[in-house]
Amino acid sequence: MSGCWQKNIKRDTFKVKRVISGNSLELVNGYVVDLVGVQDNVSCKDFLLKRIESSNRIKFKFDSKSPFKRIRKSVSDKRFKAYITNDGQCLNSEMIKRKLSSVVISYNLSDSLDVYLSYNSKTKNIVPNLPRESRRSSSGACQGHLTALQEACDFESSVTRNYSAKLASQSPGAFNIGQVCDIYKEVQPNWKYVNDPRSNEFFAKASSTISEMNLTGDCDDFAVVLYSLITAIGGKARINFAYSKYGGHAFTEVDISEMPDSKLLRTVQRKFGDYSIPDLKCRKDARGQWLNLDWWVKHPGGKYYEYERIKEFYVLEGKCSD
């Protein structure tokens, strides 16, 4: 996990030529550093000007999605994303802790979310708009959310079904882990994360998110789409509402209890071209063995969101559990 406080942050100190905006700096060597997770606004720019004008020097740690890992003359793209430090403080997190900026989520910042969750308990807006835990009885709130999810998960829609079948055709046969990888590999990198200010008990239909919104939405929209695509081709899945001190989050899991264990990790490694993946994160209970399909991880079976309470929704079966 990349972050300002890793011990391997780049030791070299670089001189800043100018502050371009609230989230970007130009170095004297011509490179431009974009600050990971920080918004461009007047408050952020003023903060950077005051912090850097005294020494004009920074250290940085590349974001894992940066196009290169070290500065060299042969690189034509002289712009990269990074966490920067000045006088021992991470300026990215300082701006967020001082409420000068909010965390900006995008695919290129996929390794930044866990880092910022630890900075400030006010960061609950990172995973916004999950229905709050209702003051109604647990069973009443559960049923209300289940009904809304059943309306959103239109896996029988021709749009949803055709899209899922097209993706899964790369790994033909009965429902298998290869099809899960093919679906995830297409949807997750192309997902455009956008805050959703809608009411607490409304979820966009999967078909609408696919065809009209071009894979745009927040965490619950992603969960609905993944659930619907998997269910449309005969897989078994569930949607989870997870709550922690930072707020709420939604994510999907797929049941892999009937898939051969020997092929699971090997298939994920092959499909994603990463043989360094050490293991797959799952949860096992009386209903099955469930593989994590959260939107912020890079492959099926990535790290789970750290939650304190969780509600599980079996949409097709019409059941929910606390």
What pLDDT sits at residue 224?
A: 97
* Confidence band for 196, pLDDT divided at 50, 70 and 90: low
Q: What is the pTM of this model?
A: 0.63
d(CA 30, CA 92): 21
- Beta strands 247-255 and 288-292: pairing type? antiparallel
Please give the Cα distance from 179 to 9 (Å, whole number): 38
CA-angle at 125, arms to 247 and 314, nearest 5°: 50
Residue 310: half-sphere exposure toward Cβ, Cα within 13 Å: 16
At 5, the pLDDT band (50, 70, 90 cuts) reads very low
Residue position matching structure tokens 């999907």: 252
Mean pLDDT in residue range 97-118 = 57
The per-residue pLDDT for 30 is 84
Most confident of the following: 74-88, 91-105, 183-197, 296-310: 296-310
Tokens representing 137 are: 């009885």
Contact call for residues 84 and 62 (beta carbons, < 8 A): no
The rounded Cα 104 to chain-centroid distance in angstroms is 11
More confident position, 260 or 69 = 260
**Distance between CA atoms of residues 94 and 119, nearest Å:** 9
What pLDDT, in 10s, does the model give residues 57-103?
888 776 655 444 444 555 556 777 788 888 777 888 788 778 788 76
The answer regarding whether domain 14-126 maps to CATH 3.90.1150.10 reads no
- Both tokens of residue 242? 């997870």
59 contacts: CB under 8 Å, gap ≥ 6? 9, 10, 11, 12, 13, 14, 84, 85, 86
Common-topology check for domains 14-126 and 138-321: no
Domain extents for the chain?
14-126, 138-321
Rounded to whole angstroms, what are the CA distances from 254 to 115, 168, 184, 190? 26, 15, 11, 20
Query: Is pLDDT at 197 greater than 70 in this prediction?
Result: no
Quickly tell me which residue has 């060597």 as its tokens. 29
Contact criterion met (CB below 8 Å) for 284 and 290: yes
Residue scoring higher pLDDT (121 or 297): 297
CB 253 within 8 A of CB 290: yes
Q: What is the CATH number of domain 138-321?
A: 3.10.620.30
- pLDDT tens per residue across span 202-255: 689 999 999 999 998 888 999 999 999 999 999 999 999 998 876 788 999 999
Helix extents (H) in the chain = 42-52, 91-97, 113-117, 138-152, 158-168, 177-187, 206-211, 219-232, 261-271
Residue 4: the pLDDT is 57
Angle, CA 99 vertex, CA 96 and CA 100 arms, to 5°: 80
Spacing of C-alpha 175 from chain mean position = 25
For tokens 């109604």, what's the residue? 136
Residue whose structure tokens are 């790369």: 170
Cβ contacts of 81 within 8 Å, gap of 6 or more? 33, 34, 35, 36, 62, 63, 65, 66, 108, 109
Max Cα distance, the chain (Å)? 64
pLDDT band for position 121 (cuts 50, 70, 90):
very low
